[in-house]
Chain A
Amino acid sequence: MATELTFDAIRLPSECVALRKEVRAFIAKEMEAGTLDPHGGGIDGAYSADFSRKIGAKGWIGMTWPKKYGGHERSFLERYVVTEEFRVANAPVRLHFVADRQSGPMILKYGSERIKTDILPRICRGEVCFAIGMSEPNSGSDLFAARTKATKTKGGWLVNGTKIWTSNAHQAHYLIGLFRTAPPSKENRRHGLTQFMVDMKTPGISINPVYQMTGAHDFNEVVFEDAFMPDDHVLGEVDGAWKQATSELAFERSGPERFLETFYVLTELVRVLGERPDTRCAEGIGRLVAQVHALRRMSVSVAGMLHAGKEPVVEAAIVKDVGTIWEQKLPHKARDLAAFVAPESANRATFEERLNYATMIAPKLTIQGGTTEILRGIIARGLGLR
């Protein structure tokens, strides 16, 4: 086959089975204590300093990182188990999630020794929240059009410009920003961008909320006015950020959060349809379960490849493309299947509340972290069409 896609069947090793039990016991205890409400907190992972610290103390942040930076040197598959259990429980992991998934690994790979020693152990303890500063008012999917400028000055850089759609910026301690340090070259329009680790306390940074259609405050506009970045806050090569982005994306794109974000709708659908659904509803549930099972097996398979040190960039893009389309359609399919549920049914109110929420957030699922169109471009390149 000229276009071979690899999705080997992965059986999670025994340490993952033991760990899953441990995580579930922890979640059960937190639910009992009222510190984890699977039906509360905006559903998609609330921000809780206490909860993140507890998870850090458990050793479940920075699980795969070196011990000398506060990590735990566990396997990527173990991290996978923790991520999916917290995702399904709607645990309040917002504070540390981005840092654990992508900012930490980025710092580990490209940060200065001083930054690594300072930041990584704090991420592992669940103390620091990261945001990602990529998009700008005139540069969304086309990252290389970024115009926010970092100008060389004594001992560092002065940043001027505006980032937008920056999730969590109002709660973040740090942001990884993509800034223009040189104009694009004739040969390479991707040249001239540099990644920086930005301390959000830096003078010259102001944050303005951009409320979402659900009423939630997640997005922000982040304005930089002569904000000073010390030299050792540069991540990787000056002008060479484009070389650094691609391999991390496989981690970011193939995780369980890329198809489980509306999973609670399926759980509540099963609950509201009851123990003996009619044929139409049974078939509907069966198909949805088959689809999410297939997605999980794809995602676990990519995790297995990452675990083995491979870079399954195309397979990861496929997981996110197929996964986000599925989680986006799920609320609408669930609505169809529940159409004839009696109004007085016991679990109907909860189901409808979840359904309404999921329906409202569904549009973002195929936009955030790489749109469907961008992903399909990456897949097409992998197939040899570009």
Chain B
Amino acid sequence: MQSEHLVAEAAKRILDNVADPQSVNRAKDDAWKAPAWAALEEAGLTLAWVPEALGGAGAELADGFAVLREAGRCATALPLAETLLAGWLLAKADIASPRGAMTCAPARESERLTLSGNGTLSGILRSIPFARGAKHVAVLAGRQGGGEAVGLVDASEVHISDGSSIGGDPLNTVSFNAARPLVVKDAPAGLDRQGLLLMGAAARAMQMAGALEAILDLAVSYANERVAFERPIGKFQAVQHNLARLAGETAAAVAAAGSAADAIAHASTFDEPVFLETAAAKIRVGEAAAEGAAIAHQVLGAIGFTQEHTLHRFTRRLWAWRDDFGNESAWAVKLGNLVAAQGADGLWPMLAAR
């Protein structure tokens, strides 16, 4: 609990300093990114989930999740979550993390990378966030003979398409054509693609909860300042009730994401309780993102629809992040099927397990 606060506070200080949404929004180019990344890396935040022996900061899982909430509160346009996840995946297979930005793959349930007998990787993985710009890609691949392996791949070994998400951040197709990994090791028992997706979903849920907190803050401040019909618009009941709904959606997101992160941090494997927590969080946070962004835009009116205002930095990422590591519908079908298979009388015991 204590360390969580310390690490998150350190992250907040650095992000406020080097990636404050206001300054970033005013920046004419991406020149701010390199020093911002250097500051995060210097503080050990990019490899928080990697043990010291493998080149990281050796922080707790809870610390990393708290950092991601802070990153969401700043709509940070840097591959912080991706590098954290990549480092975590590599460390699971006892592979040391290099410095610099990374991403991890696959990020979709249906896609698969194959590790052939000669040690090369083949496959096409779509919708990989921040692949463009990453120095390395951490991958989970199926061995041709069966079993899963974790590999570290230099970005120059693969083809990375152009493309960006609705949030304006890189979102790319990565083609592995007999790519040779720098290191490859067996994945530990219990870590499969679903485990990786769950970890990614929990990470995104924390960023999204943070972004919702930020737009609630923005919308409330604006409603208190903006005067129309001779009073602050926040004095109008219609506006108050919209903001109360935004607070409700934000609360649901914060509670669901925080609970999922806590479940993962205290579980040894990606078991059923972790699945319920994480799938439910990604679904509920995604729903809150749609509802919440719509309310924030309604409250801010035309100014919130401009390039000049920072609101879009949050809302566009909220919309985009819904699709990473499984969207609401994909997780809902899986969760619904699990509930149905267990039967009606298993539902309440499953919900009340924690």
Contact across chains for A293 and B256 when beta carbons are under 8 A apart = yes
A58 at the interface (CB under 8 A from B): no
A341 at the interface (CB under 8 A from B): no
Residue of A nearest to B223 (CB): A385
A33 / chain B contacts, CB cutoff of 8 Å: none
The answer for the CA separation of A376 and B243 in the assembled complex, in Å, is 9
Contact across chains for A270 and B339 when beta carbons are under 8 A apart = yes
A164 at the interface (CB under 8 A from B): no
Given contact pairs A286-B331, A290-B284, A377-B240, A11 touches B262 in the complex (Cβ within 8 A):
yes
Contact across chains for B343 and A271 when beta carbons are under 8 A apart = yes
Contact across chains for B332 and A286 when beta carbons are under 8 A apart = yes
B240 / chain A contacts, CB cutoff of 8 Å: 376-377, 380, 385-386
The answer for the CA separation of A129 and B239 in the assembled complex, in Å, is 41
B237 to chain A, nearest CB (A): 8
The answer for the CA separation of A315 and B263 in the assembled complex, in Å, is 22
B266 / chain A contacts, CB cutoff of 8 Å: 11
Given contact pairs A274-B340, A282-B333, A286-B335, A301 touches B255 in the complex (Cβ within 8 A):
yes
Contact across chains for A385 and B220 when beta carbons are under 8 A apart = yes
Of A285, A295, A297, A384, which one neighbours B336 at CB under 8 angstroms?
Answer: A285
A159 at the interface (CB under 8 A from B): no
B16 at the interface (CB under 8 A from A): no
**A5-38 vs B: 1/0 string, CB under 8 Å?**
1011101100000001000000000000000000
B280 at the interface (CB under 8 A from A): yes
The answer for the CA separation of A2 and B222 in the assembled complex, in Å, is 12
Given contact pairs A270-B340, A294-B255, A380-B241, A1 touches B73 in the complex (Cβ within 8 A):
yes
Contact across chains for B243 and A385 when beta carbons are under 8 A apart = yes
Of B237, B279, B340, which one neighbours A277 at CB under 8 angstroms?
Answer: B340
A315 / chain B contacts, CB cutoff of 8 Å: 251
The answer for the CA separation of A276 and B245 in the assembled complex, in Å, is 35
B235 at the interface (CB under 8 A from A): yes
Contact across chains for B336 and A282 when beta carbons are under 8 A apart = yes
Residue of B nearest to A317 (CB): B244
Residue of A nearest to B332 (CB): A286
B209 to chain A, nearest CB (A): 9
Q: How many A residues touch B, CB cutoff 8 Å?
A: 61
A291 at the interface (CB under 8 A from B): yes
Residue of A nearest to B256 (CB): A294
Of A276, A287, A297, A377, which one neighbours B259 at CB under 8 angstroms?
Answer: A297
* Chain B, 214-245, CB within 8 A of any chain A CB: 214, 216-217, 220-221, 223-224, 234-235, 237, 239-241, 243-245
B329 at the interface (CB under 8 A from A): yes
Given contact pairs A1-B73, A270-B343, A385-B235, A9 touches B331 in the complex (Cβ within 8 A):
no
B57 to chain A, nearest CB (A): 23
B18 at the interface (CB under 8 A from A): no
The answer for the CA separation of A286 and B281 in the assembled complex, in Å, is 11
**B256-272 vs A: 1/0 string, CB under 8 Å?**
10110111001000000
B287 / chain A contacts, CB cutoff of 8 Å: 287, 291
Residue of A nearest to B344 (CB): A271
Q: How many B residues touch A, CB cutoff 8 Å?
A: 61
Interface 9-residue window, one of B82-90, B105-113, B346-354: B346-354
B276 at the interface (CB under 8 A from A): yes
B332 / chain A contacts, CB cutoff of 8 Å: 282-287, 290
**B292-330 vs A: 1/0 string, CB under 8 Å?**
000000000000000000000000000000000000110
B248 at the interface (CB under 8 A from A): yes
Contact across chains for B244 and A376 when beta carbons are under 8 A apart = yes
B252 / chain A contacts, CB cutoff of 8 Å: 294-295, 298, 322
Contact across chains for B247 and A289 when beta carbons are under 8 A apart = no
B203 at the interface (CB under 8 A from A): no
Given contact pairs A2-B217, A384-B220, A11 touches B354 in the complex (Cβ within 8 A):
yes
A261 at the interface (CB under 8 A from B): no
A296 / chain B contacts, CB cutoff of 8 Å: 351-352
Contact across chains for A283 and B329 when beta carbons are under 8 A apart = yes
Contact across chains for A5 and B251 when beta carbons are under 8 A apart = yes
A98 at the interface (CB under 8 A from B): no
B340 / chain A contacts, CB cutoff of 8 Å: 270, 273-277, 281-282, 285
A107 at the interface (CB under 8 A from B): no
Residue of A nearest to B348 (CB): A88
The answer for the CA separation of A297 and B273 in the assembled complex, in Å, is 13
Given contact pairs A266-B347, A281-B336, A383 touches B283 in the complex (Cβ within 8 A):
no
**B162-182 vs A: 1/0 string, CB under 8 Å?**
000000000000000000000
Q: Which of A268, A273, A282, A319 has the most CB of B within 10 A?
A: A282
B73 / chain A contacts, CB cutoff of 8 Å: 1
B342 to chain A, nearest CB (A): 9
Contact across chains for B336 and A286 when beta carbons are under 8 A apart = yes
The answer for the CA separation of A4 and B261 in the assembled complex, in Å, is 19
Contact across chains for B247 and A9 when beta carbons are under 8 A apart = no
B34 at the interface (CB under 8 A from A): no
B156 at the interface (CB under 8 A from A): no
Can you identify 20 A-B contacts, CB atoms within 8 angstroms?
A7-B255, A9-B255, A9-B258, A88-B348, A88-B352, A267-B345, A270-B343, A273-B340, A274-B340, A276-B340, A277-B340, A279-B333, A287-B287, A294-B256, A298-B251, A298-B252, A376-B241, A376-B244, A379-B247, A385-B223
B residues touching A (Cβ–Cβ < 8 Å)?
Answer: 73, 213-214, 216-217, 220-221, 223-224, 234-235, 237, 239-241, 243-245, 247-252, 254-256, 258-259, 261-263, 266, 276-277, 279-281, 283-284, 287, 328-329, 331-337, 339-341, 343-345, 347-348, 351-352, 354
5 extra interface residue pairs, beta carbon distance < 8 Å, beyond A88-B348, A263-B348, A281-B340? A276-B340, A283-B336, A286-B335, A294-B255, A298-B252
